[in-house]
Structure 1
């Protein structure tokens, strides 16, 4: 599913499209450069790679500026088990509603796939965002050193059946 959204007065026209292998380097740069992972969280994304194989295996969608194809954000939906594996919004696009657009797209994709819920294991500072767009807290995912040295909020989006 490709979505084009024009948001007068609120920043760029945004297109959400399926990511391709050619997007891999740009998505990797977005992850590694995210200010959300500075300080104690830096180790989580250091060396992280969104490879062409990952993009081909999973449902990865990218939000781009309609004018210049600049990456504004992306997410990856894993179907079995249903989970939001990755979601990032470019630092320069924070506050423009890109995350909300991505979540709306995620919900539509999950509904089209027949899912009734999507699990989210959140970066701790992002919990408030996920709750603000309708996710509810279901628990805590424990730390898994050395990959993840801190507990993380576990949430879920409930997906209504298609009409």
Structure 2
């Protein structure tokens, strides 16, 4: 289904959003095949939403189109997702711009990302530069992951 966006609302997620955010991650086609183990069993929990800044993008009807989690203590984006049907509509860019503002307000000089390999191009298009790679962490992650970083 193709969405036509007139308005996208970005707002702080609440504990009640945990299931919708988890469903978005679990439905992602980016994690099919060899990448499937990385999100197998992954859950966005109410506790995580309460402990960290978690922001969601939603359409006017309230349907979640994407989200990000900013780990302030680690200056790390972990994770960021856009629903498959919302990709290519600018939702990811809106979320990154929002994250830049939030991270800047928190006084972070940069934000690190341990990227899903296919997502690295997106992060680079939105201003990150690759600073290295992160070694595999078997059994779930058996590949090297790019490590882009946004300088704020």
What TM-score do the two structures reach when normalised by structure 2?
Answer: 0.96
Which of the numbers 128, 134, 141 marks the counterpart of 1:148?
Answer: 141
Aligned counterparts of 2:143 and 2:67: Cα–Cα separation in 1? 24
**Unaligned ranges ≥5, structure 1:** 1-9
2:96 maps to 103
**Unaligned ranges ≥5, structure 2:** none
Pairing 1:15–2:9 present: yes
SS at match of 1:80: helix
Pairing 1:84–2:84 present: no
Aligned counterparts of 2:117 and 2:102: Cα–Cα separation in 1? 25
1:115 maps to 108
Pairing 1:62–2:56 present: yes
2:67 maps to 74
Alpha carbon RMSD of aligned pairs, Å?
0.8
Aligned counterparts of 1:112 and 1:150: Cα–Cα separation in 2? 34
- Detail structure 1 runs of 4+ shifted over 4 Å in the superposition: none
Is 2:15–2:50's contact at 8 Å kept on the other side of the alignment? yes
Measure how far apart 1:147 and its partner are: 2.8
Which of the pair has the greater relative contact order for Cα pairs under 8 Å at 6+ separation? 2
Pairing 1:24–2:4 present: no
What TM-score do the two structures reach when normalised by structure 1?
Answer: 0.90
